[in-house]
A = this chain, B = another copy of it.
């Protein structure tokens, strides 16, 4: 018997699909097999990732910006536009992130001398120190989250997620 109630029996998404199949047998709910699980996995990931970052007084949004600057290498400097593109965030969102991080002294804004529209963001020593400490922790935390996957499953999943990202990008185009 497959029909479970609400609780913790099988997989939440499997139950969702069973319910839709019962209620709307005219529809094919199979996309949920992938995208519903994407959604739920992301929410779990987000919740668990933010905890240690928040313990250091940072949000995931702030962490994301500092990480982008750090991995860009010296002089740890990117424009607001580059940060928006790297994080898939709107330009308004980036402005907000920068306001907070600049207020906390983790980065500084510097107007470009040649093209005075563009704003460069540069890590301060405090920002560099913080992200260097947090990022190692962050990776360890992520490793814990993947502990139940075998190495082969991880590489397969990575490869399929890469294809998924491309598929989603394609769909966006038109």
Contacts and interface: CB of A to CB of B under 8 A. Distances in A.
A56 interface: no
A2 interface: no
A149 B145 CA distance: 26
B145 A168 contact: yes
A34 B146 contact: yes
Query: Which secondary structure dominates chain A's binding surface?
Result: helix
A6 B72 CA distance: 10
A32 interface: yes
Interface string A138-163: 01001111111100011111101111
Nearest to A154: B34
A73 interface: yes
B168 A31 contact: no
Interface stretch (A41-49, A101-109, A111-119): A41-49
Nearest to A22: B73
A82 B6 contact: yes
A38 B136 CA distance: 19
Nearest to A31: B142
B88 A158 contact: no
Given A48-B171, A171-B147, A165 B27 contact: no
